[in-house]
Structure 1
Amino acid sequence: MLSRLTGAILRAVLVVLLIATPSILLPGTNADTGQTIALVALIAAVFTVLEYQSSYPSLVEFRDAPPFNRVRFGALFITVFALTLILRGESQPSTMTQLAQAAGRSIGEVIDFPYSPVRLIVLMLPENASAFLIDRVRTAAGLSYLVSIMSLGIFVILLRLRGWPTRHKNFNVWVNLPTFDPTAGGDVVARLERDSQINLILGFLLPFVIPAFIKLASDFVDPISLSNDHTLIWTITAWAFLPASLLMRGIALSRVASMISEQRERANVAGQDGTVLAH
């Protein structure tokens, strides 16, 4: 019980640090923004403690099947921290911020080719956008997209090397998939495979669809102002992180479906062997 509570508190602290990183490192954060961030961080911390301290899951998937959530959180934190360093370097340059800016700018220029997600996110900007804004959006998009791709690759490698999710302990579907109801009807394996395919398709399409949707919506409502540092960080982070997260979830669901199918086959073979021995 104590160990579980300690782990829940540690996770809550990390979540608070993630949310507060831009306001801590960026100069000139106003009081209203700081209060909003503090409220969001407090709500996220309370939810994290309640979720991970409880024996019964509520919303967080694969809670008891590391490193799924650890890889996702790591990618999210690295993205937010790197983008914050890039923007901090515009007013308070240092060796670290200059390194982040140089890396982000180089990556953004390499990935910014026709029909690429980075090119689409740049084309999303208004026609009167300044060259400075275009450059900072390209830099942020390129770096965040690279982090998302690397996190996906790391997850796939760990999945193969560690035999995720069942090498060291049993996999509890109810704990790790609290939003999935195995009694809702239909074959469980077929439903898991269908959900996996949907997540994979959405994860692949979202980096292309989100900029197009925002561009179309800008004709009817005011476009998102990416000139604001906090807006830029969280918008670009969400644009890169959500598709990668969906792809990871699709791969994970496919792995769970395969695991259940393999267990069924072993049970059928064992049952057939038992029948033969009985005769």
Structure 2
Amino acid sequence: MVSRIAGAVFRAALMVIMVILPSLLVTGTSHDTNQTVALVALLAALFTFVEYNSAYPSLVEFRNAPPFNRLRYGVLFLMVFSMAMIAKGKTDPSTMTDLFSVFGARLADFMDFPYSPVRLVVLMLPDNAPAALIWDVRTAAGLSYLISIVGLIAFILMLRLKNWPNQHGEAFNVWINLPTFDPTAGGDVVQRLERDSQINLILGFLLPFIIPAFVKLASDMFDPISLANAHTLIWTMTAWAFLPASLIMRGIALARVAQMISAQRERAYLQDSEEGEPSTV
């Protein structure tokens, strides 16, 4: 009980740190923005504490299958921190901020090729966008997209090398780790998991291309969100890169769970077959 409460408090504190990080690093943040950030941080902390303090699952998936959620948090934190450091370098430059800016600019040059997600993000900007804004968007897009790719590679390596989620030899509880998935809803569980996995993989692959195209088309009907604001740029690029990566990770995880259930079925079938064979004298 005590350890569960301590873990929930620690995770809630980590969520608060991540949410308020841009406000702490970027100078010149307005009072209204600070109030909004404080409210969002409080809601994120409350949600995290309730989820991890409860003995029963609610919404968070793979809660008892570490380090899935830890890896996702690490990817999200790195995105926010790196782009906040670049934004800080605009008003308060230092060696650290210059390092992030130069590294992000080189990544943007490498990843900005025709039909790439980074190029599509740049193309969604209005034609009269200033050169400084284009540089900021390219840099943020390239850096956040690279972090998402690194996170995906780390998850695949963890899946292959450490046999996730059975790296500790514990049984995988579908009810706790997949609270939104109802095994009794009808149909074969393995087929449903594989179908959900394929949907998540397809959406995760297409979203980095679809979102900029949708914003470009919608800009003809209403003014798009201004990315000139540092906080808007940080969270917009974070959502653009993190959401597809999170969907792909979820799709891979669901496919892994389906594979585990299918393998367990085969073992049970073979065991039943062996026990049902008549003994020979």
TM-score (normalised: structure 2): 0.98
Going from structure 1 to structure 2, the CA distance change for 1:217 and 1:211 (only over 3 Å counts) comes to same
Supply the distance in 2 between the matched residues of 1:167 and 1:45 (Cα, whole angstroms). 29
Counterpart for residue 6 of structure 1: 6
Structure 1: runs of 5 or more not aligned: none
Query: 2:26 matched to 1:29?
Result: no
Post-superposition Cα deviations, 1:105-149, rounded to whole Å, max 9, x if no partner, equal 000010000000000000000010011100110000000000000
The 5 A counterparts of 1:131-170 are 131-168=131-168, 169-170=170-171
What amino acid sits opposite 1:221 in the alignment? F
Post-superposition Cα deviations, 1:70-98, rounded to whole Å, max 9, x if no partner, equal 11100000000000000100110000000
Supply the distance in 2 between the matched residues of 1:22 and 1:190 (Cα, whole angstroms). 42
Supply the distance in 2 between the matched residues of 1:129 and 1:278 (Cα, whole angstroms). 81
- How many pairs does the alignment contain? 279
Supply the distance in 2 between the matched residues of 1:33 and 1:52 (Cα, whole angstroms). 28
What amino acid sits opposite 1:228 in the alignment? N
Report percent identity of matched pairs: 65
Counterpart for residue 190 of structure 1: 191
Structure 2: runs of 5 or more not aligned: none
Deviation of 1:278 (Å): 5.9
Counterpart for residue 17 of structure 2: 17
Going from structure 1 to structure 2, the CA distance change for 1:96 and 1:260 (only over 3 Å counts) comes to same
Moved more, 258-267 or 165-174: 165-174
What amino acid sits opposite 2:184 in the alignment? T
Moved more, 148-157 or 164-173: 164-173
Post-superposition Cα deviations, 1:202-222, rounded to whole Å, max 9, x if no partner, equal 000000000000111111111
Counterpart for residue 85 of structure 2: 85
Q: Secondary structure at the match of 2:61?
A: coil
What amino acid sits opposite 1:202 in the alignment? L
Structure 1 moving runs of 4+ over 6 Å: none
TM-score (normalised: structure 1): 0.99
Deviation of 1:160 (Å): 1.1
Q: Secondary structure at the match of 1:178?
A: coil
Deviation of 1:167 (Å): 3.1
Post-superposition Cα deviations, 1:123-181, rounded to whole Å, max 9, x if no partner, equal 00001001110011000000000000000000100111111112321110000000000
Counterpart for residue 229 of structure 1: 230
